[in-house]
Amino acid sequence: MVRIIQRTQRRRLRRDRKGIAAVEFALIAPALIVLFMGVIELTFRFHASQEATRYVHQAADLIAREHGMTTNDLDAIYDASVHMMKPLDTTSNLDMDVLAVALEDDGDGGIDKRVLWRRTAGAGVPFDLNDVDGLGQVDESVVRVGIRYKYTSPISSMFGGPDVNFVRESFSRPRALRYIKMDGQEDHNGATATFGN
């Protein structure tokens, strides 16, 4: 009799499926949570990358439209990053590097490249003069704007993840004149000055 009762209980236990869904959820939930957080992280990083790219192109375009710039004008463009890259925080996370490169005849039918002036806010952003190859003709100039944006992810930082540096650059040819004057002069012999608060 006892054996019959035990067999009946075992059969009922084998057929009982009430807790299966809870066990399956407990096994799958951690993977789903990690996957969800990864998607959110990638979305945030993609958005930060897009904002940095958009800002550098807009800054280069604004500068290329001018006849002349001052260091104060660059300050205004730099300070506008707070609004142009919203909702990202750029107050202490953005380095900006602006320079003008003259394209001159080298005497052999080629083009020599020479930095006319350079202005930096924060640390300089690496630049190679050969990057302007093919961007203009002799007796023209090219304006290059480079930025480095240090992005701190809210999700990665919870787990001690590193910050990400987005380095972007944009080139524009001056629209109105061959050379854009900086602080009243076309040529500062490649001298670098700083701006930004």
> Quick check: helix, strand or coil at residue 122?
coil
Distance in angstroms (rounded) separating the CA atoms of residues 106 and 109 = 7
Please report whether residue 144 resides in a domain: yes
DSSP code at position 80: T
Q: Where are the beta strands (DSSP E) in the chain?
A: 68-69, 94-105, 111-121, 140-151, 164-172, 181-182, 191-194
pLDDT at 13 over 80: no
DSSP code at position 132: G
DSSP code at position 185: B
Q: What pTM does this model have?
A: 0.79
Please report whether residue 7 resides in a domain: no
Number of domains composing the chain = 1
pLDDT band at 148 (very low <50, low <70, confident <90, very high): very high
Please report whether residue 73 resides in a domain: yes
pLDDT band at 89 (very low <50, low <70, confident <90, very high): confident
Please report whether residue 116 resides in a domain: yes
Owning domain of residue 109: 18-194
> Quick check: helix, strand or coil at residue 38?
helix
Nearest-Å Rg of the Cα atoms of the chain is: 29
pLDDT at 72 over 70: yes
**Phi, psi (5° rounding) for residue 151?**
-100, 125
Please report whether residue 68 resides in a domain: yes
Distance in angstroms (rounded) separating the CA atoms of residues 197 and 75 = 8
Predicted confidence at residue 144, as pLDDT, reads 95
